Structure 1
Amino acid sequence: MIKFDKVSYSFPQKDLYTDVSFTIEEGQHCAFIGASGSGKSTLIDIIMDPEKYVFDGNVEMEPSLKIGYVSQFSQRDKDKETTVFEYIAEEFIKLENEIATLCAEMGTSDDIETLLEKYQEALDAFDAIDGDNYENNINKKLNAANLTTHKDRMISELSGGEFKLIQVIKEMLNNPDLMIMDEPDVFLDFENLNSLKNLINSHKKTILVITHNRYLLNHCFNKIIHLENTELQEFDGRYIDYNFSLLQTKIELQEMAIADEEEIARNEELIKILREKATYNADASRGRALKARVKIQERLEANRIKHPFVDIKQPYINLETNNEIEEEIIALKTDNLGISFDEVLLQNVNFEIKSNDKVAIIGTNGVGKTTLLKQIFKNNNDAIKIDENIKLAYLSQMQSEVVNESNTILQEFYDVGFETYGEIRRYLGRYGFSSDILTQKIESLSGGEKNILQLAKVSASKANMLLMDEPTSHLDIYSQMALEKAISNYKGAILMISHDYHFIVNCADYVLLIEDKTIRKMSMRKFRKMIYANHFDKDYLQIEEKKKALEMDIASALRDTDFERARSLSEKLEEIIKSL
């Protein structure tokens, strides 16, 4: 269906791909993974419109290939009020009306031949998307996504997560040969994430999905395309098996790399000895021996083990505060808080957060989580009490609310209070932003890079209470792990919205559940039981936690160059993977 052959592509400031090759066959469900900013969305853009881009290499696609696309950023036409059913059925209704109009015209026109041709084209288009059964097909998809009751709701009434699923359904029913989705899981609650899984698995045609979501990766795909460090590799099989294969390769290659380093060090010592001898004795044979040894060293250096999919650098994320509070205080308290707009969102909300608490707000899409967080940050409601020693910082799921996307990266951090270019370069260099891209506009960054930039800005504020709305959104798996570590080390309070089960379990002391227009505190034990009962399989989640813990232990063993332990742990990991 699609073939990339040795494709290379660069921006002025950055090489994205070097001789990448892969194929997508009909019927495959492909996951497209890689670090934030590695160029996944750009490669999708090339597939969507190859004529627009200047690249080296060859891209082959079937000429009649019909592509459906769901963007990572949901957009609604606010001027076009319509129901869910009408929105999904837009193409079907349009063709129905066109066919009816052409029938009417044929009854009165003399140019029957032209009208018949248009009529047949419209019929063919209607048939290609199974138009005769479209109402039944829409009902089936809505049922698979647990959205049957939303059929007659207005699009404007949907939450962001619900609208994302409706977009997926609409594109699927238009029957594309290839369905492309760019991070469709972002901001989905637990129930909607399961609905997305069901939609992907029920789709019989080819799918290519950019995602960092482990749950989807483990349950939806039979091919992995991995873009990293300007190179690409493809794997036919499950993500679980690919990830294990990558880990095995890492153990083998790092063991070989240690041997290489030892050989290089030994050779360096020989060169040093030969140079010293050549200094005192200019014998031609000594010169030849030195030259030969230098050539051997050059060859060893050139062949030093390096693998782009093993040397994946976990980004640096640090959350700093200048105002650590030694004695625990109540940082934030609400007293019968109510929030209303056109209707009551929240009422009788009472909770308190201490100065070292890490708390996750959970609830279905659209219940008012983001609105609550914004109200706390504005701090202009008498029912919200924030201690005078507390300084707040805010991270938004709508990245443009925190960073000015028309600014360059450099300008954004001058505006924060950094005084010199060198200071900014050193600070952002730790977060993976090279000096080459500091003059780049923020709008040109990937979603994950913008989130890392937000985290860098939040940290620079040195606040001692962080309000974080979906902090893992758009972040690759390595960045998510780095953020978990940063939250664990943070010496302040955090109130965060998240729909990522593993992130919540690893980072939160307890959760605040928004339900029935109010909030109740829930222990992590009760949270787990609720998730097991309502959303995800208990055995899967517990096995996945054991699997992740083993992966971390293997990484630790590799850091200590304890390869025997790494291999032993890897055998245990293989047994766990078999149970998945």
Structure 2
Amino acid sequence: MIKVDKLSFSFPQKELYNNVSFTIEEAQHCAFIGTSGSGKSTLIDILMDPERYLYDGKLEIDPDCTIGYVSQFSELDKTKETTVFEYIAERFIQLENEIQSICAEMETSSDIEPLLEKYQFALEALDAMGGDDYESIIHKQLNLANLMKRRDTKVADLSGGEFKLIQVMKEMLNRPDLLIMDEPDVFLDFENLNALKKLINSHKGMLLVVTHNRYLLNHCFNKMIHLENTEIQEFDGRYIEYNFSLLQTKIELQEIAVAEQEEIERNETIINNLRVIATYNSEASRGRALKARVRFQERLEARRIKAPFVAIKQPNISLGIENEMEDATVVTVNHYSAAFDELLLDNVSFEIKSTDKVAIIGANGTGKTTLLRDIFNNNHPSIEINADVKVAYLSQMQGEMLNDSNTILEEFIDAGFNTYDEVRSYVSSYGFEGEIVNQKIASLSGGEKNVLQLAKVSASKANVLLLDEPTSHLDTYTQIALEKAIEDYKGAIIMISHDFYSVVNGMDYVLIIEDKTIRKMSKRKFRQMIYASHFDKDYLEAEQNKKAVEMKIELALKDTNFELAKGLVDELEELIKRL
């Protein structure tokens, strides 16, 4: 068991945790969730290397506990000649070689006792990893992830998504007591995401996974650890049940808060009346009554409900547009080809209308980003952009569109804002308030950087948006806010995405890459394709119905119509049972 007890930690500019406590027990698969920038990755760093940090509280980890780790930023070493099998089996092969070396040494050594001890230790380590039959175990994992065909491929020749899966397999097969994965799903295509789901669900040990991916959250975990506003709460159960519990709590707390506010306002009226009376009646009893009422008011304010997990501030994403174009072709791609080491796309043609919302879908490494970047740069002979078009681009390589050495304020001054006050006012609606606007962009989390890119895209007022994996690193609250902004946007959107929900909820159709070419696919056909591989029948429709009821509850709460909200909760509960 891993136990964190009343841990507090802060950076000079930001408090991250205030007396947080949680446990991870044997066989638990924990999803670690929370809004971008709340400190999830830092807490993982503390768990893995507590000696590096000065924190208050206790961290109880058995000294013999082994921790495996899969980073959200994995770099593929193109120089290595190692095959996929050799990469995954590295630790097994090391132990086998060590055992053979010790055996060879024992044949010639006169002092055999220390060698026997080393031999026994190496055997036990290999046995603990299931090393007697490691080749069969690796084959089973490769088959599970549909990667057996890549067994003898050089690691350097894998796509980024395939390499991420291979990393996950390697760490799982090393059998650490706790395996920590930080956003392992980022940039995975549909097939690789499904493979990751299977790997997670097949793992027998303790897992702590930072993820915002709704597909994984709904299908992989039996415990939630939620970090928000310096506090943590634990929930034993599925993500969908946790969200339902949060919504129920929100209704209860808001109903109490409204009643308390009414009581505070009544008391404020009495205090004001007593103050008026005290101006012409100086009796001591009047003064005592006034003081008593003021103290009562202070007590009311002190016990006002504070709910960090149900009062999460969703960013207000609004994709502005300056020049709406009606019924025009904005992008024409004609006989386009692209190559990178090998031919990626060949003789591709399509056109985008002024209000089309289009997802480009394809496996990792099929040329989606290359195509989008060529449209943005507008210097390719096969691509024509309408003269009235203004294009804005969000890159999955965040350093392309953000200057890491800038502060947030400087970044928006460079983008054309006139004053720091204007920037502060604008970025506050995206969740950047207070001292964070003076931080260097390099210090922000991946999710915060993507929100910052969305803020820049929106400020551009462009009428064609090119969005390359816009939901990557975004917390679920921001993903939903982005879906709403896309729905309301009046221009054209070309979006690369591996997020089922964003495609189905926001796009008109998809352009799917297969066999080095692109074909248009209706959203209905795309749904059918996804269902065949990933979901039970009508799952996404049921998810949409659930989301619609949740929106009705939010509107009822805005109107303080608690009876309606409670009735809708019963309806929501029935929908959740079907998911």
Give the structure-1-normalised TM-score. 0.97
| 1:167-566 correspondence runs (5 A) | 167-325=167-325, 327-566=326-565
1:460-510 per-position Cα deviation (integer Å, ceiling 9, x unaligned) = 333221111110001011101111122222232110001111111121111
Q: Name the CA distance, whole Å, in 1 between partners of 2:565 and 2:471.
A: 29
Query: Could you say which residue in structure 2 is the equivalent of 1:24?
Result: 24
Query: Could you say which residue in structure 1 is the equivalent of 2:136?
Result: 136
Q: Which AA in structure 2 matches 1:526? A: K
Q: Name the CA distance, whole Å, in 2 between partners of 1:405 and 1:381.
A: 29
For the 8 Å contact 2:224–2:235, the answer to whether it is kept is yes
1:150-192 per-position Cα deviation (integer Å, ceiling 9, x unaligned) = 1111212222211111110000000100011111111112222
Query: Could you say which residue in structure 1 is the equivalent of 2:84?
Result: 84
SS at match of 1:569: helix
Query: Could you say which residue in structure 2 is the equivalent of 1:12?
Result: 12
Greater mean alpha carbon deviation, residues 114-123 or residues 85-94 = 114-123
Q: Which AA in structure 1 matches 2:359? A: A
Shift of 1:241: 1.5
Query: Could you say which residue in structure 1 is the equivalent of 2:149?
Result: 149
Q: Name the CA distance, whole Å, in 1 between partners of 2:531 and 2:550.
A: 23
Greater mean alpha carbon deviation, residues 27-36 or residues 73-82 = 73-82
Greater mean alpha carbon deviation, residues 439-448 or residues 408-417 = 408-417
Shift of 1:573: 1.0
SS at match of 1:431: coil
Residue 214 to residue 341, structure 1, CA distance change in 2 (3 Å): closer
Shift of 1:533: 2.1
SS at match of 1:242: helix
Q: Name the CA distance, whole Å, in 2 between partners of 1:34 and 1:156.
A: 34
Shift of 1:440: 1.7
Q: Name the CA distance, whole Å, in 1 between partners of 2:297 and 2:397.
A: 52
Q: Name the CA distance, whole Å, in 2 between partners of 1:414 and 1:171.
A: 44
SS at match of 1:538: coil
Shift of 1:424: 2.2
Greater mean alpha carbon deviation, residues 222-231 or residues 110-119 = 110-119
Query: Could you say which residue in structure 2 is the equivalent of 1:40?
Result: 40
Shift of 1:324: 2.7
For the 8 Å contact 2:80–2:156, the answer to whether it is kept is no
1:370-420 per-position Cα deviation (integer Å, ceiling 9, x unaligned) = 121112122221111111111222111121222122333233223223333
SS at match of 2:250: helix
Q: Which AA in structure 1 matches 2:215? A: Y
Q: Name the CA distance, whole Å, in 1 between partners of 2:110 and 2:406.
A: 61
Q: Which AA in structure 1 matches 2:342? A: E
Q: Name the CA distance, whole Å, in 2 between partners of 1:430 and 1:545.
A: 26
Query: Could you say which residue in structure 2 is the equivalent of 1:126?
Result: 126
Greater mean alpha carbon deviation, residues 34-43 or residues 236-245 = 236-245
Q: Name the CA distance, whole Å, in 2 between partners of 1:539 and 1:420.
A: 50
SS at match of 1:165: helix
1:121-175 per-position Cα deviation (integer Å, ceiling 9, x unaligned) = 3222222211121101100111111111111112122222111111100000001
Q: Name the CA distance, whole Å, in 2 between partners of 1:557 and 1:446.
A: 34
Shift of 1:99: 1.8
Greater mean alpha carbon deviation, residues 341-350 or residues 55-64 = 341-350
SS at match of 2:200: helix
Q: Name the CA distance, whole Å, in 2 between partners of 1:45 and 1:305.
A: 32
Shift of 1:86: 1.1
For the 8 Å contact 2:394–2:453, the answer to whether it is kept is yes
Q: Which AA in structure 1 matches 2:254? A: Q
1:295-314 per-position Cα deviation (integer Å, ceiling 9, x unaligned) = 11111111112211111111
1:70-100 per-position Cα deviation (integer Å, ceiling 9, x unaligned) = 1111212222222111111111112222222
Q: Name the CA distance, whole Å, in 2 between partners of 1:358 and 1:157.
A: 33
Q: Name the CA distance, whole Å, in 2 between partners of 1:166 and 1:116.
A: 34
Residue 96 to residue 196, structure 1, CA distance change in 2 (3 Å): same
Shift of 1:255: 0.6
Greater mean alpha carbon deviation, residues 269-278 or residues 408-417 = 408-417
SS at match of 1:107: helix
Shift of 1:120: 2.6
Q: Name the CA distance, whole Å, in 2 between partners of 1:397 and 1:341.
A: 18
SS at match of 1:438: helix
1:206-249 per-position Cα deviation (integer Å, ceiling 9, x unaligned) = 11111111221121111111111111110111222211111111
Query: Could you say which residue in structure 1 is the equivalent of 2:115?
Result: 115
SS at match of 1:47: helix
Q: Which runs of 5+ in 1 are unaligned?
A: none
Note if 1:60 corresponds to 2:81: no
Task: Could you list the structure 1 runs, at least 4 aligned residues long, displaced by more than 4 angstroms after superposition.
Answer: none
SS at match of 1:307: coil
Q: Name the CA distance, whole Å, in 2 between partners of 1:388 and 1:405.
A: 32
For the 8 Å contact 2:30–2:224, the answer to whether it is kept is yes
Shift of 1:441: 1.9
Query: Could you say which residue in structure 2 is the equivalent of 1:104?
Result: 104
For the 8 Å contact 2:83–2:154, the answer to whether it is kept is yes
Shift of 1:348: 2.0
SS at match of 1:193: helix
Note if 1:573 corresponds to 2:566: no
Q: Name the CA distance, whole Å, in 2 between partners of 1:206 and 1:103.
A: 35
Q: Name the CA distance, whole Å, in 2 between partners of 1:226 and 1:575.
A: 25
Greater mean alpha carbon deviation, residues 184-193 or residues 403-412 = 403-412
Q: Which AA in structure 2 matches 1:341? A: F
Give the structure-2-normalised TM-score. 0.97
Q: Which AA in structure 2 matches 1:451? A: N
Q: Name the CA distance, whole Å, in 2 between partners of 1:80 and 1:529.
A: 40
SS at match of 2:538: helix
Query: Could you say which residue in structure 2 is the equivalent of 1:159?
Result: 159
For the 8 Å contact 2:313–2:431, the answer to whether it is kept is no
Q: Name the CA distance, whole Å, in 2 between partners of 1:230 and 1:251.
A: 22
SS at match of 1:41: helix
For the 8 Å contact 2:531–2:537, the answer to whether it is kept is yes
1:415-463 per-position Cα deviation (integer Å, ceiling 9, x unaligned) = 2233332222222222111231223222221111011111112223332
